[in-house]
Amino acid sequence: MKICIFMPTTFVIDKNSNLSKNNMLENTDNRIKQYKNGINKVLELNKKNNIDIYIADNGFDFKEKICIDDNIKVISNNPNNYGKINKGAGIIEIWNNNIEIIKQYDYIIHFEPRQLLIDNYFIDNFMKNPRTLFTYNHNISVNRHFNTGLFACKSKHLLEFINEHSPELLVKRSLGIENVLYHFFETNQLQYNTLDKMSLIWYNAFTKKEYYW
């Protein structure tokens, strides 16, 4: 069984983007520190696992700003036409750009490394029993949806999702990928399991606070 950790990144932001102008993005210096810590922790915790690790960046050239470990495969030709408007659209844009890589694997572990793993609770649980695995949002005052900062998914289902949901769709309808992905699995009655937590620290760029998920 072939498994990879796929990490979309935007190391260097476009300061002219709508998200940046609306104070929805962390500044470049802070986000690079967060990325370094997040990526190093993934490597540290997964040395024992026989899985490939990818970074797919859709920002400006970052190679002079961050040193990437030789064990990570770097994809630097990703477009960023929609990510500067809608973060979820940007993720789908990156997935679209790397469909041929996704096809090589049975499962994709999607992780956004500006977060910091507290431990390897989620990934270790998945590795013991590979299956599609999500966590739900904690805020019960809003509709239930998936957390998309860390999840594991059959590649064939991810490809089906990409085929049905374009980045243009999310931008045009102002949709969040957390809701869209959840409804895709529910509507198509695709099997998935959930865990109680991702066991990570999430940095909120807007509130400038850390949250534990």
| Dist CA 34 CA 168 (whole Å) | 29
pLDDT at 21 over 70: no
Query: Which CATH number belongs to the domain containing residue 71 in this structure?
Result: 3.90.550.10
pLDDT at 161: 98
pLDDT at 72: 93
Is residue 60 very low, low, confident or very high in pLDDT (cuts 50, 70, 90)? low
- Number of domains the chain contains: 1
Angle (deg, nearest 10), helices 155-164 and 87-97: 120
pLDDT at 40 over 80: yes
pLDDT at 191: 97
pLDDT at 118 over 70: yes
Residue closest to 198 by CA, chosen among 124, 89, 108: 124
| Boundaries of domain holding 97 | 3-212
Q: CA 192 → CA 28, 39, 107, 132, 181, distances in Å?
A: 36, 26, 13, 5, 12
What's the rounded mean pLDDT across residues 99-104? 98
Classify residue 136 by its DSSP letter. B
pLDDT at 12: 77
How does the average pLDDT of the chain come out, rounded?
90
